[in-house]
Amino acid sequence: MTGKQFTSVWFREPRKAATPARSREEIVRAAMELLDEEGLTGLSMRKLGAKLSAGATSLYWYVANKDELLELAYDQIWAEMTVPDAHEVGWRDASSSWAYSMRAVMLRHPWSASLLGHVPALGPHALTASDRMRKVFKAAGFRGLDVDYAVAAVTAFVYGMTLPEIAWDVTVGDYDYDAEEMRGLVAKAAADFPDMLESLAMEAYEDPAVVRATAFDFGLVSVLDGLERRLVT
């Protein structure tokens, strides 16, 4: 029995520009602008063609379909992430820089959250970032599969903290809810949970962005502390 054939834009040679004024890089940049403005549902070959003053049909010379276009755009966000050399700044600072930049990139391009697990990270930028992170944890002292487990631990933390933040911004953040009214409704729902009511009264919750950033700081330090502890046990 033969399984479904796996295809990817990275498994074929890119075609040369049909005209001097057009390139695959230009198309990807325009696609990312559309994605940032309108999200995944706002991207279509027709809209992209209009943005580039080109027919949608002509774009198929460069990408076979929308899925390939998303692969290219998804890889491009990895180029925006920072992974310093662990031998220069230390593995903890290198890991922190990568985690903070990954979070910032995901928040800057919220559409990327919907592609996680659906679009293969096989492009040159994604592979370069992954390779650099493996080098960071090798420099820390991890060996064998522990290197990959350490990378996965930090990556999972960033995803776990950032995806709900993006979901909130996309589904709720666009609405101008009255903060005091929402606080009152939540307090009513949590009336039987005094510990939760106590946290609702904290002044820090006046600014959700501050709470999210602080929670990310706390969690990341805790994850790195745990990884560091494994190195000395």
79, pLDDT greater than 90:
yes
How high is the pLDDT of residue 181? 78
For 89-123, the pLDDT digits (tens) are: 999 999 999 999 999 999 999 999 999 988 989 99
pLDDT band at 58 (very low <50, low <70, confident <90, very high): confident
**Which segment of 21-30, 35-44, 74-83, 143-152 scores lowest on mean pLDDT?**
21-30
User: What are the chain's domains?
Assistant: 9-76 (1.10.10.60), 79-231 (1.10.357.10)
Closest CA to 97 of 113, 108, 106, 85: 85
E-only strand ranges, 50-185: none
Alpha carbon 177 to its chain's center: 27
Mean predicted confidence (pLDDT) in 49-74? 86
Residue 34 near residue 43, CB atoms below 8 Å? yes
Average pLDDT taken over every residue of the chain: 87
Which of 20-34, 45-59, 176-190 shows the lowest per-residue confidence on average (mean pLDDT)?
176-190
pLDDT at site 37:
94
Task: Kindly list the distances between the CA atom of residue 221 and the CA atoms of 79, 157, 179, in Å, as whole numbers in the listed order.
Answer: 25, 11, 30
pLDDT in tens, 154-210: 999 999 999 999 988 776 655 566 767 777 787 888 888 888 777 766 554 567 788
The DSSP annotation for 120-146 comes to ---SHHHHHHHHHHHHHHHHHT--THH
Which pLDDT value is given to residue 138?
Answer: 97
Question: How does residue 53 score in pLDDT terms, banded at 50, 70 and 90?
Answer: confident
Tokens at residue 232, please? 């000395």
pLDDT above 70 as % of the chain: 88
Give the C-alpha separation, 31 to 229, whole Å.
Answer: 43
pLDDT of 40 reads 92
Contact 72, 63 (CB under 8 A): yes
> What is the model's pLDDT at position 108?
96
Average pLDDT over residues 216-232: 96
